[in-house]
Amino acid sequence: MSAQPRPRLTPEEYLKIERAAEFKSEYYDGHMYAMSGGSYAHGLIIANIVAKLWQGLAGKGCSVTASDVRLRVSALGLYTYPDIAVVCGTPAFADDQADTLLNPALLIEVLSPSTEAHDRGFKFAQYRRLESLREYALVSQIEPRVEIFRRQASGEWLLSESTGLDGTCRLDSVGCGVALAEIYQQVSFSAE
């Protein structure tokens, strides 16, 4: 017996289901995908970064949100929940519900073993379509390391990396830096 094909959803159908759901799902190419939960370290790293960005962005006209704000990359494409999104200026939303962001300047994903390839590959390829996006940061959970991809004037993306607890990651798109010791405060790294 063959499995029944899953019906394709329109973005509007996805949003109707998603807004009523008790758990978060991403959407791409007509299909919804349930999101898994993160580890304690994952949540702690996000909280540490949000706290430092909130302090560093005071008075700069930028706002920072964590993983509860949905992002629409394109009207028919990806709807997702980045770990952290920063908007400088007035946030733009997909509709009057003001729950689907359109114009981040900075996106940050904390890497998990199960999502790292997806965050580096598919998501980054999608995120590069956002005209507002200036930087994309990938934060390791297994070692003190932050990779930042910056959009250049030419449209190319340039990688810079900060490593070690004595390092600092510079977030040019929002005009602030965060010490890796602060990002990884209270995070334990397993010895291999």
pLDDT in tens, 9-35: 999 999 999 899 988 989 998 888 888
Alpha helical stretches, state H, 33-155: 40-56, 116-118, 124-127
Q: SS3 for 18?
A: helix
Domain ranges of the chain: 38-183
What's this model's pTM, rounded to 2 decimal places?
Answer: 0.92
Residue 46, pLDDT score:
96
What distance in Å separates the CA atoms of residue 173 and residue 135, rounded to the nearest whole number?
6
Query: Left (φ > 0), alpha (ψ -120 to 50) or beta: where does 56 sit?
Result: alpha
Residue 91, pLDDT score:
97
What distance in Å separates the CA atoms of residue 86 and residue 105, rounded to the nearest whole number?
6
What is the arithmetic mean of pLDDT over 142-160? 97
Neighbours of 122 (CB within 10 A): 13
> Are residues 186 and 44 in contact, defined by beta-carbon separation less than 8 angstroms?
yes
- What class, spelled out in words, does domain 38-183 have in CATH? alpha beta
pLDDT tops 90 at residue 104:
yes
